Amino acid sequence: MIKVCSLFSGSSGNCIYVSGSEAAVLIDAGVSGKRIEAALASIGESFDKIAGIFVTHEHSDHISGAGILARRHKIPIYANSETWDAMRPFMGKLQPDAIKEIEVGEIITLGDIEIRPFPIPHDAVCPVGYNLFIDGKKLTIATDIGHMSRELLVHLEKSDMILLESNHDIEMLKTGSYPWPLKQRILSDHGHLCNEMAGKVVAYLAEMGTKRFLLGHLSQENNFPELAYQTVCNALLEKQIKPNEDVYLEVALRDRASKIITI
């Protein structure tokens, strides 16, 4: 059985807890260590079972709490060498055994969890998503995606659950207060996935058999949960798929732990 909980999700910080029966991991640690510890306690979990922190990329909303957690709880941080080079100055002093370099496509086994990083299109040095396999089930974490491609879909297909980015509403972004260069970055092929594309991807994957979806990494300025949810619902309904009857659909919370999902 896989237990999944988004502790924080959004442009202000990201951290996802994933547990099997033997071990647990965090995907990203983009808020303070204190807040992550409190969020874990709020769902009845602790660091006793956590065997590692897996970093998707070096942006601060994904790494800001990683160094302190590694020191405080004596757990390693896993990232590819390019990401380590970019984030090392922000990690503080780490023991050598806390630094784990992994390769894209490599399979890492911690207890009963197999973790496999795959490449994603984003404006970082070597960003990745993660497939996690536990007891024959597949969980996929895929945020910070500038665009969807056939190559990326291959990693998402056949998942039992997906946490997928639904970052912004295009019209809110275009008419909002962001400076034009930042708007261009978000809308680019290496920026973030919009609600409409998230809806298309969810509908496609639901047709392919995925039954659980969590929408994440919402922009605080250019989106809101009800809009992201309804946009994806509309895409599902166009395919005659009923949200929360045929598939499970929720939005990850920005500032606190979301519901625990079991697979």
Is there a contact between 66 and 59 (Cβ–Cβ < 8 Å)?
no
Confidence at residue 96, expressed as pLDDT on a 0 to 100 scale: 96
Confidence at residue 109, expressed as pLDDT on a 0 to 100 scale: 98
Tokens of 234: 């509309």
Euclidean distance between CA atoms 197 and 147, whole angstroms:
8
* Measured CA angle at 102 (ends 100, 106), to 5 deg: 140
**Among the listed residues 2, 74, 59, the one whose alpha carbon sits nearest the alpha carbon of residue 29:** 59
List, for residues 85-120, the tens digit of each pLDDT value.
Answer: 999 999 999 999 999 999 999 999 999 999 999 999
Helix (H, G, I), strand (E, B) or coil at 28: coil
Tokens of 74: 């004596």
Regarding beta strands 161-165 and 113-119, do their DSSP bridges make them parallel or antiparallel, or are they unpaired? unpaired
Is there a contact between 166 and 218 (Cβ–Cβ < 8 Å)?
yes
- Residue 154 C-beta-side C-alpha neighbours within 13 Å: 7
Is there a contact between 206 and 243 (Cβ–Cβ < 8 Å)?
no
Confidence at residue 227, expressed as pLDDT on a 0 to 100 scale: 98
Sheet harboring 261-262: ordered strands across?
Answer: 99-102, 77-80, 50-54, 24-27, 15-19, 3-8, 261-262
Confidence at residue 45, expressed as pLDDT on a 0 to 100 scale: 96
Band of residue 13 on the pLDDT scale cut at 50, 70, 90: very high
Q: What is the mean pLDDT of the chain?
A: 97
Confidence at residue 203, expressed as pLDDT on a 0 to 100 scale: 98
Confidence at residue 239, expressed as pLDDT on a 0 to 100 scale: 97
Confidence at residue 43, expressed as pLDDT on a 0 to 100 scale: 97
Domains of the chain and any CATH numbers: 3-262 (3.60.15.10)
Euclidean distance between CA atoms 116 and 102, whole angstroms:
10
What single-letter amino acid sits at 220?
Answer: Q
